[in-house]
């Protein structure tokens, strides 16, 4: 980390409708994971900046025009922001790739889909209705949902703009104001989004972005007395820590945390289809998604055949420059994560797992600089090994074998996580019985990694609290007020 490199452009924070420098006066490098070179300097925010942003959001909520606006007027602004994201999708995708190394084609696709969240929740904004209760007292008693106030959204580096939008769109539609904190490695798209927020005409303070490190600027946001909700996507360890901080002031939280999701392949499955799903599930986004299908459970009768097909398919995957349309697997997003993934490869070997393919940096000049790890498959894994229990967040697949559905369920559920699961079979009764028994917030049958703005997403067990997307997603950002009017 350096304090300021004059050769690189600097990115300031966006607070109360202004571009502001950090109170510390310090900036840190943001690095392109393909070249391993810094490309911009990001403001290193701290507690004073967090305070300034939360106060601005609070003022906008309490005193600004936002609170007094009819929901249909707020909806217009949210919709306009969606349109601006659509118009600027390619530029946003470019920035995202420069910060996190995801494939350009994949990020273009993702960013073009993001406006749907803004359109969907803009549509809900003026449909938040109350209830008149059949009261047993001489009174008119009704209740209505109200916004919470200042919401803080803290997101990781794997899909910054998407994960931020999953929080921002419903929070704003419910009438709240926001402070966003992107991950320190990937701050640039959130800041670019603020140019669009300004262009859309949001009043100052409604949406603010502070940048910097978790402990330095994230914690002061969470513990700020005026913060009423914490929306977080990231690791279970950090989520649990923020949950305990929020608990001190009884703040609401929505947590989307880690996973060790099983992909279960039965012997009657369309194996070629399952291979594609399993590969996309674990090697898509270079394995850096909370929903990565990182445990592959294969029924014994087809185990060897399936693993062979899988290895053959995976060997063909082109690893390299994320901006090259032919590339199928890009780099890991940052150096720390790169080292962590290779560390897990060593751990798996020491535990006795068999390395089928991968396990190192790919050969060749294209991958010599960046944070690359080959798509890696281990076989002979048992569910007690760390490689089967801990979230790697990289392109590392652990393969386990099972005999029948009962054993598959037992292995799948023997995890502290419960984010997602995949089931591959042609037998729909079996698939539905499996979906009943799996402890997971999403179960995909003959598909994997699908998400939509319409469908609730979230985790069982240590994978999280609350749900994003759909009508359920907006309830996270509302509280109920009951009113009694005496008729006695
Ligand atoms: P990962 O990058 O493994 O998902 P985290 O879950 O730690 O890591 O990070 C997700 C987000 O949480 C990032 O924006 C990070 O800066 C933030 N963060 C990390 N630690 C804290 C903390 N103590 N307080 C607030 N935010 C944090």
User: What strand order describes the sheet that includes 207-209?
Assistant: 18-20, 13-15, 207-209, 177-181, 150-154, 227-233, 252-256, 464-465
pLDDT at 186 over 70: yes
Ligand 1 pocket member 184 (CB < 6 A)? yes
Residue whose tokens read 């919401």: 151
Each residue's pLDDT tens digit, 3-26: 445 578 899 999 999 999 999 999
Give the nearest ligand 1 atom to 183 CA.
Answer: 14
The span from the CA of 380 to the CA of 307, in Å, is 11
Residue 235 Cβ contacting ligand 1 at under 6 Å: yes
In the set 106, 256, 374, 468, the catalytic residue is: 256
Write out the H or E segment, with its range, that includes residue 110.
helix 104-113
What ranges in 69-103 are assigned the alpha helix state H? 71-87, 89-100
**Ligand 1 atom closest to 217 (CA):** 25
pLDDT tens digit sequence for 208-252: 999 999 999 999 999 999 999 999 999 999 999 999 999 999 999
Write down the residue that tokens 């590969």 correspond to. Answer: 279
> In terms of C-beta density within 10 A (0-12 exposed, 13-18 middle, 19 or more buried), how is residue 403 classed?
exposed
Does ligand 1 lie within 6 Å of residue 215's CB atom? Answer: yes
Active site residue 184: no
Of all protein residues, the one whose alpha carbon is nearest to atom 14 of ligand 1 is 183
- Residue 287's region, left for phi above 0, alpha for psi from -120 to 50, else beta, is left
Collapsed DSSP state (helix, strand, coil) of residue 223: helix
Q: Using a 6 Å cutoff on CB, does residue 245 contact ligand 1?
A: no
Residue 93 CA to ligand 1 centre (angstroms): 22
The answer, yes or no, to whether any atom of ligand 1 lies below 6 A from the CB of 147, is no
| Contact 214 CB / ligand 1 (< 6 Å) | yes
**CB-ligand 1 contact for 159 (6 Å cutoff):** no
Between CA 480 and CA 355 the distance in angstroms is 54
Q: Give residue 246's pLDDT.
A: 98
Residue 212 Cα: closest atom of ligand 1: 16
Residue appearing with tokens 């993934």: 341
- Report which protein residue has its CA nearest ligand 1's atom 13: 183
Q: Which of the listed residues 190, 211, 238 should we mutate to test ligand 1's pocket, taking the one with most ligand atoms within 8 A of CB?
A: 238
Question: What residues contact residue 53 under an 8 Å CB cut-off, 6+ apart?
Answer: 13, 15, 16, 179, 208, 209, 210, 221
pLDDT tier, 49 (very low <50, low <70, confident <90, very high otherwise):
very high
Q: Which two tokens stand for residue 247?
A: 């608990």
pLDDT for 6: 54
C-alpha 333 to ligand 1 mean position (Å): 15
Q: What is the pLDDT of residues 265-315, one digit of tens each?
A: 999 999 999 999 999 999 999 999 999 999 999 999 999 999 999 999 999
Q: What confidence score (pLDDT) does residue 333 get?
A: 86
Q: Return the pLDDT at 8.
A: 86
Is the distance from the beta carbon of residue 156 to the nearest atom of ligand 1 less than 6 Å?
yes
- CA-CA distance, 400 to 422, in Å (whole number)? 14
CA of residue 463 to ligand 1 center, whole Å: 15
Q: Residue 132 burial (CB < 10 Å; 0-12/13-18/19+)? A: exposed
Centre of ligand 1 from the C-alpha of residue 370, in Å: 23
From the CB of 167, is ligand 1 less than 6 Å away? no
Cα 242 to ligand 1 centroid, rounded to whole Å:
9
* ipTM of the predicted assembly exceeds 0.85: yes
Q: Which residues contact 389 (CB under 8 A, 6 or more apart)?
A: 260, 383, 415, 416
> pLDDT digit string (tens) for 436-483?
999 999 999 999 999 999 999 999 999 999 999 999 999 999 999 999
Average pLDDT, the chain: 96
**Residue whose CB lies within 8 A of the most ligand 1 atoms, among 43, 154, 240, 289, for a mutation test:** 154
pTM of structure: 0.95
Straight-line distance from the first to the last Cα atom of the chain, in angstroms, rounded to the nearest whole number: 69
- The protein residue with its alpha carbon nearest to ligand 1, atom 27, reads 214
């Amino acid at each position: 980390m350096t304090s300021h490199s004059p050769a690189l452009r600097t990115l300031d924070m966006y607070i109360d409708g202004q571009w502001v420098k950090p109170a510390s006066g310090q900036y840190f490098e943001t690095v392109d994971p393909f070249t391993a070179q810094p490309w911009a300097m990001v403001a290193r925010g701290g507690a004073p900046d967090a305070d300034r942003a939360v106060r601005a959001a609070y003022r906008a909520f309490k005193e600004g025009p936002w609170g007094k606006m009819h929901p249909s007027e707020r909806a217009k602004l949210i919709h306009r922001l969606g349109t601006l994201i659509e118009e600027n999708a390619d530029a946003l995708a470019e920035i995202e790739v420069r910060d996190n190394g995801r494939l350009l084609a994949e990020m273009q696709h993702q960013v073009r889909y993001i406006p749907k969240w803004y359109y969907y929740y803009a549509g809900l904004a003026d449909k938040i209705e109350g209830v008149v209760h059949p009261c047993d007292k001489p009174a008119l008693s009704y209740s209505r949902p109200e916004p919470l106030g200042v919401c803080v959204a803290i997101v990781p580096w794997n899909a910054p703009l998407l994960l931020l939008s999953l929080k921002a769109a419903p929070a704003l539609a419910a009438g709240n104001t926001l402070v966003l904190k992107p991950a320190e490695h990937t701050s640039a798209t959130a800041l670019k989004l603020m140019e669009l927020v300004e262009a859309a005409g949001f009043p100052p303070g409604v949406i603010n972005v502070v940048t910097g490190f978790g402990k330095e600027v994230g914690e002061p946001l969470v513990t700020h007395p005026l913060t009423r909700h914490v929306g977080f996507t990231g690791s279970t360890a950090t989520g649990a820590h923020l949950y305990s901080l929020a608990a001190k002031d009884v703040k609401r939280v929505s947590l989307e945390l880690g996973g060790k999701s099983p992909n279960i392949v039965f012997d009657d499955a369309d194996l070629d289809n399952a291979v594609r799903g399993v590969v996309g599930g674990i090697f898509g986004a270079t394995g850096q998604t909370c929903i990565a299908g990182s445990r592959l459970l294969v029924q014994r009768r087809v185990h060897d055949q399936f693993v062979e097909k899988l290895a053959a398919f995976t060997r063909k995957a082109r690893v390299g420059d994320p901006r090259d349309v032919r590339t199928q697997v890009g780099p890991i997003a940052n150096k720390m994560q790169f080292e962590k993934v290779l560390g897990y490869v060593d751990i798996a070997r020491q535990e006795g797992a068999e390395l089928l393919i991968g396990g190192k940096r790919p050969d060749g000049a294209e991958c010599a600089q960046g944070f690359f790890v080959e798509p890696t498959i281990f076989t002979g894994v048992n569910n007690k090994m760390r490689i089967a229990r801990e979230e790697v967040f990289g392109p590392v697949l652990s393969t386990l074998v099972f005999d029948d559905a009962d054993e598959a369920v037992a292995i799948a559920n023997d995890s502290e996580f419960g984010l997602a699961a995949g089931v591959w079979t042609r037998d729909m009764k079996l698939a539905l019985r499996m979906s009943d028994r799996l402890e997971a917030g999403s179960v995909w049958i003959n598909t994997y990694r699908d998400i939509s703005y319409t469908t609730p997403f979230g985790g069982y067990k240590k994978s999280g609290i609350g749900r994003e997307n759909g009508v359920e997603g907006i309830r996270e950002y509302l509280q109920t007020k009951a009113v009694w009017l005496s008729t006695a």
